[in-house]
């Protein structure tokens, strides 16, 4: 089937309208702390690190777009101006020092421009500030256990709750943290390698048996934030979500008091249930 110029034009216009609708209507689909239908962007940032990741992502996106369009323009120029018909007698030029220096120096400068914010972001992620609270997250087949050594040393298991929303992200016992506090996450694996990841916090770190890995976040918004195990860890890899409830200081203190009683015997239980779950 051949299309007339008018038809092609109308199709391109249709595509552009859909693209624009997605770009401007996208915010309507966004939901805090969890994925949303038709989402094509990063989840909304809830920590300074994720804000910087989002900035860096957008910065690279526009940089790549400009470079790609520039190369496209050059290619079109070559095709149109220098094909055999419009340019029957080609130039014999083989070198142009100025252009060669320019196409070496300019890409180097662009790469330096990428490297500076990239390294700044890496240092921010890896250089853990003085922590207000440490939580140990242990990945198990197939759920997470959270220990609060700073708040009375209780530990509890967090399992997928199939009756809870959002689907496949809701859990029975959420990890609870205070807002605007530096939370250090120490993570390890009890059986195989898992990965502790929360997109809106901008964290993802492997939970490796026999190792203690560290990362951190400072949630600046209250609410529910969800993540998932992000390392293929076995048959129920997709069913061990991470749910974090960010609350104010008073609510956190009240939760700690309740959790101390509720999970008083948790460490022994969690060890037994780890064995049972692995059967």
Q: Which of 183, 233, 243, 266 binds Cu ion (CB under 5 A)?
A: 233
Cβ proximity to Cu ion: between 45 and 145 the closer is 145
Q: Closest distance between Cu ion and the C-beta of residue 168, in Å?
A: 14
CA atoms of 193 and 155, how far apart (whole Å): 20
Question: Is residue 218 at the binding interface for Cu ion, with CB under 5 A as the rule?
Answer: no
CA atoms of 59 and 235, how far apart (whole Å): 38
* Size of interface with Cu ion, in residues (CB under 5 A): 3
Cβ proximity to Cu ion: between 142 and 216 the closer is 142
Question: Is residue 242 at the binding interface for Cu ion, with CB under 5 A as the rule?
Answer: no
Cβ proximity to Cu ion: between 72 and 232 the closer is 232
Of 161, 126, 242, the residue nearest 195 (C-alpha): 242
CA atoms of 97 and 85, how far apart (whole Å): 29
Buried b (16+ CB within 10 A) or exposed e, 79-103: eeeeeeeeeeeeeeeeeeeeeeeee
Q: Which of 138, 145, 154, 194 binds Cu ion (CB under 5 A)?
A: 194
Q: Closest distance between Cu ion and the C-beta of residue 143, in Å?
A: 9
CA atoms of 155 and 132, how far apart (whole Å): 18
Q: Closest distance between Cu ion and the C-beta of residue 179, in Å?
A: 27
- Per CB under 5 A, the segment of 25-33, 150-158, 166-174, 230-238 that binds Cu ion is 230-238
Cβ proximity to Cu ion: between 190 and 229 the closer is 229
Q: Closest distance between Cu ion and the C-beta of residue 238, in Å?
A: 9
Cβ proximity to Cu ion: between 169 and 259 the closer is 169
Question: Is residue 159 at the binding interface for Cu ion, with CB under 5 A as the rule?
Answer: no
Of 224, 220, 166, the residue nearest 33 (C-alpha): 224
Cβ proximity to Cu ion: between 173 and 230 the closer is 230
Question: Is residue 183 at the binding interface for Cu ion, with CB under 5 A as the rule?
Answer: no
Q: Which of 49, 177, 229, 266 binds Cu ion (CB under 5 A)?
A: 229
Helices and strands per DSSP (H, E), number in the chain: 5, 10
Question: Is residue 140 at the binding interface for Cu ion, with CB under 5 A as the rule?
Answer: no
Q: How far apart are the first and last CA of the chain?
A: 59
Peptide bond into 180 cis (omega under 30): no
CA atoms of 186 and 138, how far apart (whole Å): 8
Contact residues toward Cu ion (CB under 5 A) are 194, 229, 233
């Amino acid at each position: 089937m051949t299309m007339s110029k008018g038809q092609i034009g109308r199709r391109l216009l249709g595509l552009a309208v859909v693209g624009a609708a997605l770009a401007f209507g996208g915010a309507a689909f966004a939901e805090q702390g969890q994925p949303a239908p038709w989402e094509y962007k990063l989840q909304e940032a809830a920590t300074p690190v994720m804000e910087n990741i989002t900035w860096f992502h957008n910065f690279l996106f526009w940089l790549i777009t400009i470079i790609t369009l520039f190369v496209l323009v050059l290619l079109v120029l070559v095709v149109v101006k220098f094909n055999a018909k419009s340019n029957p007698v080609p130039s014999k030029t083989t070198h142009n020092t100025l252009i060669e220096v320019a196409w070496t120096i300019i890409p180097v400068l662009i790469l330096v421009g990428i490297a500076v914010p990239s390294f700044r972001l890496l240092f921010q992620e890896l250089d853990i500030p003085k922590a207000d609270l440490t939580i140990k997250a242990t990945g198990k087949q197939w759920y997470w256990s959270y220990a609060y050594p700073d708040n009375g040393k209780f530990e509890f298991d967090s399992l997928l709750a199939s009756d809870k929303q959002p689907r496949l992200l809701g859990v029975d016992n959420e990890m609870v943290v205070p807002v605007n506090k530096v939370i250090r996450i120490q993570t390890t694996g009890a059986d195989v390698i898992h990965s502790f990841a929360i997109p809106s916090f901008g964290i993802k770190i492997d939970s490796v048996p026999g190792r203690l890995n560290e990362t951190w976040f400072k949630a600046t918004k209250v609410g529910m934030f969800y993540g998932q195990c992000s390392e293929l860890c076995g048959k129920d890899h997709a069913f061990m979500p991470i749910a974090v409830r960010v609350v104010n200081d008073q609510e956190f203190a009240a939760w700690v008091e309740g959790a101390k009683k509720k999970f008083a015997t948790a460490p022994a239980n969690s060890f037994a249930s780890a064995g049972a779950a692995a059967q």
